[in-house]
Amino acid sequence: MERLASFSNDPFDKPPCRGCSSYLTEPYVKCAECGPPPFLLCLQCFTRGFEYKKHQSDHTYEIMTSDFPVLDPNWTAQEEMALLEAVMDCGFGNWQDVANQMCTKSKEECEKHYMKHFINNPLFASTLLNLKQAEEAQHSETAIPFHPADDPPRPTFDSLLSRDMAGYMPARADFVEEFDNYAEWDLRDIDFVEDDSDILHALKIAVVDIYHSRLKERQRRKKIIRDHGLINLRKFQILERRYPKEVQDLYETMRRFARILGPVEHDKFIESHALEFELRREIKRLQEYRAAGITNFCSARTYDHLKKTREEERLKRTMLSEVLQYIQDSSACQQWLSRQADLDSGLSPAVPVPSNSGRRSAPPLNLTGLPGTEKLNEKEKELCQMVRLVPGAYLEYKAALVNECNKQGGLRLAQARALIKIDVNKTRKIYDFLIREGYITKA
């Protein structure tokens, strides 16, 4: 039976004959019962009945040749392969060079045959179209949010940002150190030889299979990183911060299940819980309106305004009661006023205020009317009230710390204290707040 030879015209591309070790020329014989690797013999050794190890002269065999027509009666399979290799080597359209490399066909014959059977052939055209449609359908069903256009940052080697990105190299789309980085060491001394026993051969095959499984795990982890956009860690953290605090906690808890759900399904899961949180909060607010007897949104706006006014009045009364406690002790009152002036100006007080009257801690700072308050969010306002820091000074300190963090790729507490010369306890609270809210990262 005739088979298409799996090698090119060059005899040096074919394995040698197992009998005489000479380079094979077509036709030659392949044993159908031995292998892998294939057991090949030239015609001379086959006619002598050559036998070697498990190979016997009575085994079934195949005649390997490409001297038969495939697409055109005047073109053999060997010439078809030679034409394709010549077009690949010389380039499409260089028919004179293609003919020179083939040696058996003219320029016109090569061009006519190639255009007829490989370009204008409706069978090949429909096959390529089906493959293209199948590929497009596959890509349309698989949503991967991390596209090549999302160019990750390119930090310098061994910098803090490079370590945050696990040594990812954007130009090579690979990592400096792979997962299971020394998996290849188990294969460095393995060599398949003909004299191996069956047990040793099976053992080597098992080692290779184990290595393949480790490669699959390495690729699986890379795919998870790319699919979920984890390479650009800063961008991932910014996307996380768009959720409320409660949803961020849920996001952190459910992150380990993201590799099971996939990127799109995991994002849908988190978004659905974020929507549920918003709905529950809105329902709670509407229930509060209903309990207060409010039946329309116009009345609800008035209620919210009055509620906010009552809260501000309560804070003022609390601060007034604190001041009245200090007035009873003239010495403590003078020191308290001096300390408040230092705190409001952003300076560190010289000494703490001694008091024998059993007073409580200083009341929160009232931000009403202070410049810069409108630039703060609710959490920043709460911080300024608790540490008694005016909004303008806080915004300056925040900008200085954020700029230094961007330059260094991270910021330590000691560096923050060196940048802003205020009370160390205030610096720690500001530093911890900016870390917690994601404005800066810890070095």
pLDDT tens per residue, range 303-317: 888 888 888 888 877
Distances (CA, A) of 20 to 15, 16, 44, 70: 12, 8, 9, 32
CA distance 318 to 361: 12
Q: Which two tokens stand for residue 4?
A: 């298409």
Task: Answer for the pair 7, 38: CB distance below 8 angstroms, yes or no.
Answer: no
Q: Which of 34-38, 190-194, 327-331 is least confident?
A: 327-331
Alpha helices by DSSP H, listed for 363-423, are 378-387, 391-408, 413-419
Distance CA 270, CA 303 (A): 33
The tokens of 87 are what?
Answer: 């077009």
Residue tagged 């500001």 (tokens):
430
Residue-level pLDDT at 145? 41
What are the φ/ψ torsions at residue 41 (nearest 5 degrees)? -135, 145
pLDDT band at 163 (very low <50, low <70, confident <90, very high): low
CA distance 432 to 425: 11
86, 91, 96, 99 alpha-carbon torsion, rounded to 10°:
10
The per-residue pLDDT of the chain, averaged, comes to 77
Residue 9: DSSP 8-state: S
pLDDT value for 81? 84
What does 195-211 look like in DSSP terms, one character per residue? Answer: T--HHHHHHHHHHHHHH
CA distance 285 to 306: 15
Are the CB atoms for 375 and 391 separated by under 8 Å?
yes
Using omega within 30 degrees of 0 as the cis cutoff, is the peptide bond preceding 73 cis?
A: no
pLDDT, average across residues 181-192: 82
pLDDT tens digits for range 266-277: 888 888 888 888
Distance CA 365, CA 377 (A): 16
| Share of residues in the chain with pLDDT > 70 (%) | 74
Sequence letter at residue 50: F
Rounded to the nearest 5°, which phi and psi values hold at 441? Answer: -120, 150
CB atoms within 10 A of CB 236: 13
Q: Could you tell me which residues come within 8 angstroms of residue 37 by beta carbon, excluding any fewer than 6 positions away?
A: 15
Cis peptide before 27 (omega within 30 of 0): yes
DSSP line for 307-348:
HHHHHHHHHHHHHHHHHHHHHTSHHHHHHHHHHHHHHHTTPP
Tokens of 150: 């999302």
User: Where does residue 401 rank: exposed (0-12), middle (13-18), buried (19+ CB within 10 A)?
Assistant: buried
Q: Own/partner pairs for 246-254, CB < 8 Å, 24+ apart? A: 246/277, 247/273, 247/274, 247/277
Tell me which residue of 131, 135, 112 sits closest to 123, measured CA to CA. 131
Residue 335: which residues within 8 A CB-CB, separation 6 or more? 353, 354
Question: Whose CA is closest to 387, among 352, 361, 351?
Answer: 361
Q: How many other CB atoms sit within 10 Å of the CB of residue 322?
A: 16
- In three-state secondary structure terms, 144 is coil
Residues 218, 225: Cα–Cα separation, whole Å: 11
| Claim: this prediction has a pTM higher than 0.85 | no
Tokens 């370590």 sit on residue: 163
Is 102 strand, coil or helix? helix
Helix (H) or strand (E) run with residue 40 in it: strand 40-41
Nearest to 372 by CA among 344, 404, 395: 395
pLDDT of residue 283: 92
Task: Give mean pLDDT, residues 123-149.
Answer: 50
Q: Which tens digits make up the pLDDT trace of 393-425?
A: 888 888 888 888 888 888 888 888 888 878 888
Contact 1, 62 (CB under 8 A): yes
Q: Region 205-234: what's the mean pLDDT?
A: 82
